[in-house]
Amino acid sequence: MLRTFAAEDPGGWDALIDLAVAADAAGVDRLVLSDHVVFGENLEAYGDPKRGGAKGGRQPTGPDGHWLDPVATIAYLSALTTRVRFGTNILIAALRRPVTLAKELATIDVLSGGRLDLGVGVGWQEEEYVAAGLSYKERGRLLDHTVEVLQLLWREQSAAYEGEGLAFERIHQMPKPLQPGGVPVWVSGTVNPRSMQRLARFGSGWIPWGDDAADIADGIAKMRAAVSALGRDPSGLGVVGNAPMVKADGGGFDLDAAVAAAPALVEAGVTDVRFTVSPPPDRSAATDYLGGLVEKFRAAVA
């Protein structure tokens, strides 16, 4: 995950750009970016699972933290790279008008050579929905509506839609995403009825959350059972799993310990192993650091 946020003004984002370019050169498969549009002042809500937060979690910035927009940032970084994929983890997609978002994402996918993934979730912060003039209580329905319209516009030459608050017919939007069927959608959430319905209906992959991410093997088993019960074969779904963050004695993270855990994650059904890293700031040194991680990872899971 690229750190596209800072507690205070960092004075520039060259380190972010250097890391993305280094990851591209090193052979990293995917870089993901998080999303916040605005903040209220009730940041303790991040630690409340009932609101979509993480139990015991802590928001990494205050309300005046600096957060880059992930879609715009991916558009910029994809122009500086050639092979690494970019994804959102996650985009609070319901805060955007779907017809405009569909155009933006299709444009990035075309210009990047089909290197975009869309991770979506409802988020945890009520104030973002209020500021956008949307109902926080209806956030799940709003997300479903957004993704439904995105995929409709990406897949249909002449699109028609009728739903609550939106209706259109004979609507054309070109270009379509370069990837067949549109930009792959990764659904974030715990194993609950609403998120599993969303995953079964729209998803190319699952981004586990909460206890289901902490015990990934159990989470995957529950996810597969839930998706199967909804009539979809879960075998083709991607799954994100986090390699353990083990502090090294000299600072940073122990990559050997993290890599050693990767085969068990893959055996459990994880398709996308995510590492937390602390590479050196120099672009060349960061490329060597990440290249070493990629080499060790591929050897471990070959």
Q: What is the pLDDT of residue 55?
A: 83
pLDDT of residue 6: 96
Distances (CA, A) of 266 to 243, 256, 270, 301: 11, 16, 5, 8
Residue 251 above 80 pLDDT? no
Range scoring the smallest mean pLDDT among 82-86, 111-115, 212-216, 245-249: 245-249
Question: Residue 132 corresponds to which amino acid?
Answer: A
Neighbouring CB atoms inside 10 A of 300's CB total 16
Tens of pLDDT, residue by residue over 43-83, are 999 988 888 888 888 899 999 999 999 999 999 999 999 99
Claim to verify: residue 136 and residue 267 sit in the same structural domain: no
The pLDDT confidence band at residue 252, using thresholds 50, 70 and 90, is confident
Question: Could you tell me the residue range of the domain that residue 104 belongs to?
Answer: 5-183
pLDDT (average), residues 231-253: 90
Last residue of a domain, one of 183, 199, 214: 183
Q: Which of 183, 218, 252 is the last residue of a domain?
A: 183
Q: Does the bond joining 207 to the residue before it have cis omega, within 30 degrees of 0?
A: no
Q: Enumerate long-range contacts of 289-298, CB under 8 Å, 24 or more apart.
A: 289/22, 289/26, 290/22, 290/23, 290/26, 290/27, 290/28, 291/25, 291/26, 291/27, 292/255, 293/26, 293/255, 293/259, 294/26, 294/27, 294/28, 296/255, 296/256, 296/259, 297/259, 297/262, 297/273
What's the count of helices (H) and strands (E) in the chain, helices before strands?
11, 11
> Distances from the Cα of 79 to the Cαs of 20, 75, 108, 176, in angstroms?
11, 7, 9, 19
Q: Would you state the pLDDT for residue 241?
A: 97
Average pLDDT over residues 94-121: 98
Residue 212 has pLDDT above 90, yes or no: yes
**Looking up tokens 């190319």, which residue turns up?**
204
Structure token pair of residue 224:
């597969």
Question: In the chain, pLDDT over 70 holds for what percent of residues?
Answer: 100
Residue with token string 């933290």: 65
Are 43 and 162 members of one domain?
Answer: yes
Q: Which pLDDT does position 264 carry in this prediction?
A: 96
- Is 220 a domain residue? no
User: Average pLDDT of 166-184?
Assistant: 97
CA distances from 203 to 135, 163, 181, 185, 256 (A): 24, 21, 12, 5, 32
Window from 149-158, 219-228, 254-263 with minimum mean pLDDT: 254-263
Tell me the mean pLDDT in the region 175-195: 97
Average confidence score pLDDT of the chain: 95
Mean pLDDT confidence for 166-195: 97
pLDDT at residue 64 in the model: 96
Same domain? 173 vs 254: no
Q: Does residue 229 lie within any of the structural domains?
A: no
**Considering the domain boundaries, does residue 38 fall inside one?**
yes
Q: Is the per-residue pLDDT at 250 higher than 90?
A: no
Q: Please tell me the number of Cα atoms within 13 Å of 3 on its side-chain side.
A: 19
pLDDT value at 130 more than 80: yes
Specify the CATH number for the domain of residue 112: 3.20.20.30
Domain count, the chain: 2
Q: Which amino acid is at 57?
A: G
Question: What is residue 50's predicted lDDT score, i.e. its pLDDT?
Answer: 82
| 249: confidence class by pLDDT, cuts 50, 70, 90 | confident
Assess if residue 151 is contained within a domain: yes
Last residue in a domain, options 155, 183, 211: 183
201 in any annotated domain: no
Is 46 found in the same domain as 176? yes
**Range 96-122 average pLDDT:** 98
Mark whether 29 and 149 lie in a shared domain: yes
Q: Per DSSP, what are the bridge partners of residue 116?
A: 86
Q: Examine the pLDDT at 234 and tell me if it is beyond 80.
A: yes
Interval 222-247 mean pLDDT: 96
Check whether 14 has a pLDDT greater than 90: yes
Q: Is residue 233 part of a domain?
A: no
CA distance 103 to 94: 15
Q: Is 238 a member of any domain?
A: no
Do 18 and 118 have their domain in common? yes
Please state which of the ranges 57-61, 116-120, 187-191 shows the lowest mean pLDDT.
Answer: 57-61
State the Cα–Cα distance between residues 233 and 231, nearest whole angstrom. 7
